[in-house]
Amino acid sequence: MGIVIAVISGKGGVGKTTATANLGLGIAMNGKKCVLVDFDIGQRNLDMILGLENRVVYDMVQVMEGEANIKQAAIKSKANENLHFLAASQTKDKSVLDSAKVEKLVADLKESYDFVILDAPAGIESGYEHTIEFADAAIVVVNPEVSSIRDADRAIGILDSKSAKVKNGEEVAKYLIINRIVADMVESGEMLKSEDILEILNIKLLGKVPEDKGVIDASNQGKPVILDKKSIAGQAYSRIAGRLCGQKVDMKDIEVADTGVFKKLAGMFK
């Protein structure tokens, strides 16, 4: 019996889909069976980040409608066979989602995978509500930037009121990923520190991901950045995936600029 995790953000463009793809692959690399489901109906994107856009035959709406089964629709990742993927429908709109069908899809996926990760659409409309409704836990992705943090707080508020677990008197676990951290800016006081963001949102930290130009290069190629062992963002996602798989991985302090002695000396005389 697997765990269902919704990846949410409120605001779009903060790296939610990138995080979903990398965590899924990271989990698969740890030997766990993982399925990623794109819930962004009408704006399918996870397929491109994974490099699987040409392999989509059936989408998740067709599975929910009974037109295809999970085995037919699940696409195996080229990078790791433990990772499967269900595409969003590109032709339908968000109104096709309904609670009973989502509940069944999620329950069926839980039977065959250790991790079921749902990539939520941006915004806090019905598509978002359906994504979080049957999740056991949520990963909130933010950038260290005011609009992203404010929108995340709204998304968390809706999670706390609309989740089926909360309605049953249980708690839905919430964890934060802070994405696109620029150490120099944090050090100079021009970017929010992670501890401040955690305090404002009142949430536990899952991991910090540094800004990394390699992320765009990776999505250009449809190869998640976690496959690039030299990438600092990729390394951050590896650490987070390890934590999700129950390993004790220390929080690396990526908010301190990694500069050499000479650069530090030069900095003093600026």
Residues that bind other proteins (CB under 8 A): 145-146, 149-150, 153-154, 157, 160-162, 186, 188-193, 196, 200, 202, 268-270
Query: Which lies closer to other proteins via its Cβ, residue 10 or residue 26?
Result: 10
What's the min distance (Å) between Cβ of 79 and other proteins?
37
Q: What is the DSSP string of the chain?
A: --EEEEEE-SSSSSSHHHHHHHHHHHHHHTT--EEEEE--TT---HHHHTT-TTS--SBHHHHHTTSS-HHHHPEEPSS-TTEEEEBPPSSS-GGG--HHHHHHHHHHHHHH-SEEEEEPPSSSSHHHHHHHHT-SEEEEEE-SSHHHHHHHHHHHHHHHHH-HHHHTT---EEEEEEEEE-HHHHHTTSS--HHHHHHHHT-EEEEEEE--THHHHHHHHT--GGG-TT-HHHHHHHHHHHHHTT-------TTS----HHHHHHHHT-
CB closer to other proteins, 146 vs 251: 146
- Closer of 109 and 181 to other proteins (Cβ): 181
Q: In angstroms, rounded to a whole number, what is the distance separating the alpha carbons of residues 199 and 33?
A: 34
Q: What does the alpha-carbon distance between residue 171 and residue 169 come to, in Å, rounded to a whole number?
A: 7
Q: Measured from the CB of residue 157, what is the shortest distance to other proteins in angstroms?
A: 6
Question: What is the nearest approach in angstroms of other proteins to the Cβ of residue 148?
Answer: 10
Cβ distance to other proteins smaller for residue 38 or 133: 133
- What's the one-letter identity of residue 138? A
Question: Taking the complex as a whole, how short is the minimal distance between the CB of residue 236 and other proteins, in angstroms?
Answer: 21
DSSP of 156-216: HHHHHHH-HHHHTT---EEEEEEEEE-HHHHHTTSS--HHHHHHHHT-EEEEEEE--THHH
Task: In angstroms, give the least distance from the CB of 235 to other proteins.
Answer: 25
Q: Between residues 109 and 191, which has the closer beta carbon with respect to other proteins? A: 191
Closer by beta carbon to other proteins, 3 or else 200: 200
Closer by beta carbon to other proteins, 138 or else 152: 152
Least separation in angstroms between residue 211's CB and other proteins is 15
Shortest distance, CB of residue 193 to other proteins, whole angstroms? 7
Rounded least distance, CB 142 to other proteins, Å: 11
* Choice between 162 and 252, CB closer to other proteins: 162
